[in-house]
Amino acid sequence: MTRRRAAAPVRLSDVPALDATDARLLQALGEDPRATVMALSQRLGLARNTVQARLARLESSGALAPFEHRVRPEALGYRLGAYVTVQVVQRSLADVGEALADIPEVLEVTALSGVADLLVRVVAVDADDLWRITERVLSIPGVQRTDTALALRRLVDHRMRPLLARAAGQD
């Protein structure tokens, strides 16, 4: 099996701050994701080149998440979600992170402070599939212990609107 390189980690401190105009632009895109640059410029009262440059900067700087974040795993048959906390042997975080990136059902890995070193969001088809995935995680060299919690229901979906409204000065 050929190992692929893990996606570059996102350092939270490296994501640039947005100004009120960026926030208004992202709000408009949230309301109409297919809006053209011209439609956005007219709606926001900005020059087309300004909108285009800001969108390019937001994309290249990492301020915008990839489009695939909009795809729900349930639509692909992965109806079971779980959060796995992982304790890792010291100095093995990078290697364990790379190995986790090779597991397709691993959606996200976040390094933590505290008892657990990593929080891993996974999806599975069913309980047997989740067992297979957790066994694969446990087999990664450097993983000491895992603890799995099933996601029963999403009470508040991922959202940015309230923060964008605040950043745009609309709260």
Query: Where do you find CATH 3.30.70.920 in the chain?
Result: 73-151
What was the pLDDT predicted at 8? Answer: 57
Q: Please list, in sequence order, all residues whose beta carbon lies within 8 angstroms of the beta carbon of residue 155, skipping any fewer than 6 positions away.
A: none
Looking at residue 70, its pLDDT comes to 84
pLDDT of residue 60: 85
May I ask the CATH class of domain 73-151?
A: alpha beta
CA–CA distance, 134 with 80 (Å, rounded to integer): 13
Q: 80 Cβ partners below 8 Å, 6+ apart?
A: 123, 124, 125, 126, 127, 129, 130, 150, 151
**What global pTM score does this model have?**
0.80
For the chain, 171 residues long, give each residue's pLDDT as a single digit of tens: 444 444 556 566 677 788 999 999 999 998 998 999 999 999 999 999 999 999 999 988 888 888 888 899 999 999 999 999 999 998 999 999 999 999 999 999 999 999 999 999 999 999 999 999 999 999 999 999 999 999 999 999 888 999 999 999 987
Q: How many residues does the chain have?
A: 171
Helices (H), 32-109: 37-44, 48-61, 93-101
Q: What is the pLDDT of residue 1?
A: 44
Rg for the chain, CA atoms, rounded: 19
- CATH architecture designation of domain 19-69: Orthogonal Bundle (1.10)
Residues of the chain with CATH 1.10.10.10: 19-69
Whole-number pLDDT of residue 5: 45
